[in-house]
Amino acid sequence: MCRGATVETTTPGPARAADAAERETKTAKAKGLIPLTSMLQNLMKNNTTCRGAREGASGAIDLDPWRAYNFSSARRSEGRGGVSMVRSKVFVGCRLYSGFMPRVVHEAFVVFDGKVVFCGSREEALSVGSHLRADVVDLDGLTVMPKFVDAHAHLGELALKEGMVDLEGSRSLDELLGRLRSFAEAKPHLPVVFGYTFDHEEMRERRLPSASDLDRAVPDRPAIALRKCLHVGTINSAAMRLFDPAIFKPPFAELDEEGRPTGVVKEDLIWEVREKLSSLLSREDHLELMEEGLRRVSLKGVGAVGYVSCRREFLNVLLELEARGRLPMLVSCYMPPEELFDLHEALSLRGGLRAGNVWITGIKMFADGSLGARTAWLGEPYSDAPEGRGLKLSETSYLLEMASRAEAMGLQVAIHGIGDAAIDQILEVYGKLSRVRELRHRIEHASVLRGDQLERVADLGVALSVQPRFILGDWWVAQRVGLNRLRDVYRLKSPLRRGVLVGFGTDCPVERIDPWETVYAAVARGDRECLDLARHTPEERLTLEEALFCYTDGSSRIIRADGVVGGMGVGFRASFCAYEKDPFELDPSELKDLQPAISSDKLLEG
């Protein structure tokens, strides 16, 4: 989660990365598993001997884990998620939007071996299909669109949020507890229960739950319910028993009148608690949650993700899932620099690495914190706290050194920059590199971007990875930066006009992955919510075409998977959703609630 300053600062030093690698090897060996480095080495060896590692245009090596053997305990016979894929299908009777700028419409398409091989008229599609002996599916007037590409999400936490209990929108304590209880009852084998992001301001009781509340829902094992900001939450009694009672002290823990901890924990302590609770999960649990989480996201209409701040242990989880044929989408990973450099050295790589659906694409670093916590680094003081300009989180020399090393290895660089001072720093770094446009180095968020910076971004060829859903989530932003700076906040249209590569993400779990909420936010810009931002910057609203273009084509370029996902033209993966209503015929307010009627996950099953 990118907007909480507490996590943002966890850039590990080289020593810590080496420690982590060693720890990983030890735990992996203890559990009888093969550590990541040897897993990838085996993959490469087997691919080289089986069919030769193919070097893609981007310099990344493509590996096919299906050709690899003996690199995990998985049985390859499990097949793709236990589902047999039919090789070919013809889809007719639909309105297919294969791309958005310009809008391209077809009435039929043909899928062969998971890819689109034809788009066009019904007659031609049927003729192509008959050569392939394809089944014919009449979509009966549905509107078909490529799945979205989320360029910025945190999958470790997404897995916990989507794979466990979603508490968003709970209107009362009973509702919140009910959701926790039914999940706990359905999954008795999980050693811990995580509930993600309630907002007590939206609950009837308007108070945080207590440990004894949570005990009523989950009495038998540790449980935690996290507030929207992720900086505060409540744990139950079983979770509290895992710790020395002495740590439950203000300011990081709340006490009742008699001085006993209530179960409410904050800031530093909540990170410690979360880490401990997460460590209770076995590798199998992590695999199950990641699979379940991504499957849900896939059904909502997301076909690929940029996984930022991906740690080695989660890369391991993804590779294991992929090897078992259970990873439902393409994941492009951005790792902390030291961790990735170690791996790179161990594998003697040039460029990225593509192992089936798991791509290792680049590094992720931080220049500042968040506007919510007033830790985003601004050029001028905060309007609602004039004593501060936020936090600088990394030295320029450090960012430059890491970015230069990455670039020399052909890796992409992504740097979190929310405030304009942080963006100045990132642009200074990118200004000294030589392959910015080619490798599509990214600025994450770019929330407060001055006009002169936009020019520089365009000239250097920097890509902007933005989160339109923040427009609605950060409804208070006008107070933070003042009306004068609003024109620089959450720019969408001006970068597009200037020819900048713009892609969308959600920063899940900060905002939930509900792709049509993101589209709605980009198009309506908080107009119906009466936000100052909408009133003062109507010129930054996108058309529906532009929003869909950014969230498909734009994001796919940002995660360096263009031509593979983010479109439904010939050659793309057949990763699509079908809708009852055509979004182009809807009022913008209706976009928010759009849900796919069915997706390629179901339609391409055997």
Interacting span for Zn ion (CB under 5 A) from 1-9, 12-20, 44-52, 90-98: 1-9
Helix (H) or strand (E) holding 342: helix 337-347
By C-alpha distance, which of 198, 242, 244, 243 is closest to 217? 198
DSSP-derived letter for residue 382 is B
- Specify the residue, 97 or 470, whose C-beta has the smaller distance to Zn ion: 470
Q: Provide, rounded to whole angstroms, the least separation between the CB of residue 334 and Zn ion.
A: 10
Residues 6+ apart with CB under 8 A from 149: 302, 303, 304, 305, 306, 503, 551, 552, 555, 556, 559, 561, 565, 566
- Specify the residue, 17 or 151, whose C-beta has the smaller distance to Zn ion: 151
Q: Provide, rounded to whole angstroms, the least separation between the CB of residue 414 and Zn ion.
A: 9
Site residues (CB under 5 A) for Zn ion, limited to 454-473:
none
- Specify the residue, 322 or 444, whose C-beta has the smaller distance to Zn ion: 444
Q: Provide, rounded to whole angstroms, the least separation between the CB of residue 3 and Zn ion.
A: 7
- Specify the residue, 288 or 507, whose C-beta has the smaller distance to Zn ion: 507
By CB under 5 A, residue 339 contacts Zn ion: no
Q: Provide, rounded to whole angstroms, the least separation between the CB of residue 389 and Zn ion.
A: 18
By C-alpha distance, which of 49, 65, 50 is closest to 321? 65
Backbone angles phi, psi at 192, to 5 degrees: -155, 150
Q: CA-CA-CA-CA torsion for 7, 13, 16, 17, nearest 10 degrees?
A: 90
Interacting span for Zn ion (CB under 5 A) from 83-91, 224-232, 275-283, 409-417: 409-417
- Specify the residue, 71 or 334, whose C-beta has the smaller distance to Zn ion: 334
By CB under 5 A, residue 2 contacts Zn ion: yes
Site residues (CB under 5 A) for Zn ion, limited to 428-447:
444
Q: Provide, rounded to whole angstroms, the least separation between the CB of residue 153 and Zn ion.
A: 8
By CB under 5 A, residue 157 contacts Zn ion: no
- Specify the residue, 306 or 596, whose C-beta has the smaller distance to Zn ion: 306
Q: Provide, rounded to whole angstroms, the least separation between the CB of residue 8 and Zn ion.
A: 7
Q: CA-CA-CA-CA torsion for 173, 174, 180, 181, nearest 10 degrees?
A: 150
Cβ-closest position to Zn ion: 2
Q: Provide, rounded to whole angstroms, the least separation between the CB of residue 473 and Zn ion.
A: 13
Pairing of strands 358-366, 353-355: antiparallel
By CB under 5 A, residue 558 contacts Zn ion: no
Concatenating the DSSP letter of every residue in 287-315 gives HHHHHHHHHHHHHTTEEEEEEET--HHHH
**Are 488 and 450 within 8 A, CB to CB?**
yes
Q: Within 10 A of 291 (CB to CB), how many other CB atoms are there?
A: 19
Question: How far apart (Å, rounded) are the C-alpha atoms in residues 90 and 361?
Answer: 34
Query: With CB under 5 A, what is the number of residues at the site for Zn ion?
Result: 4
**Are 404 and 441 within 8 A, CB to CB?**
no
Q: Provide, rounded to whole angstroms, the least separation between the CB of residue 277 and Zn ion.
A: 21
Helix (H) or strand (E) holding 22: helix 14-30
Q: Within 10 A of 387 (CB to CB), how many other CB atoms are there?
A: 6
* Tokens 């920063």 -> residue: 507
- Specify the residue, 61 or 158, whose C-beta has the smaller distance to Zn ion: 158
By CB under 5 A, residue 166 contacts Zn ion: no
By CB under 5 A, residue 364 contacts Zn ion: no
Q: Provide, rounded to whole angstroms, the least separation between the CB of residue 86 and Zn ion.
A: 37
**Are 321 and 570 within 8 A, CB to CB?**
no
By CB under 5 A, residue 512 contacts Zn ion: no
Work out which of 507, 514, 517, 562 binds Zn ion, going by CB under 5 A.
507
Q: Provide, rounded to whole angstroms, the least separation between the CB of residue 303 and Zn ion.
A: 20
By CB under 5 A, residue 416 contacts Zn ion: yes
Identify the three-state secondary structure at position 251.
coil
Interacting span for Zn ion (CB under 5 A) from 12-20, 200-208, 354-362, 506-514: 506-514
- Specify the residue, 8 or 213, whose C-beta has the smaller distance to Zn ion: 8
Question: How far apart (Å, rounded) are the C-alpha atoms in residues 499 and 197?
Answer: 36
Interacting span for Zn ion (CB under 5 A) from 36-44, 77-85, 503-511, 552-560: 503-511
- Specify the residue, 414 or 564, whose C-beta has the smaller distance to Zn ion: 414
Where do contacts with Zn ion occur on this chain (CB under 5 A)? 2, 416, 444, 507
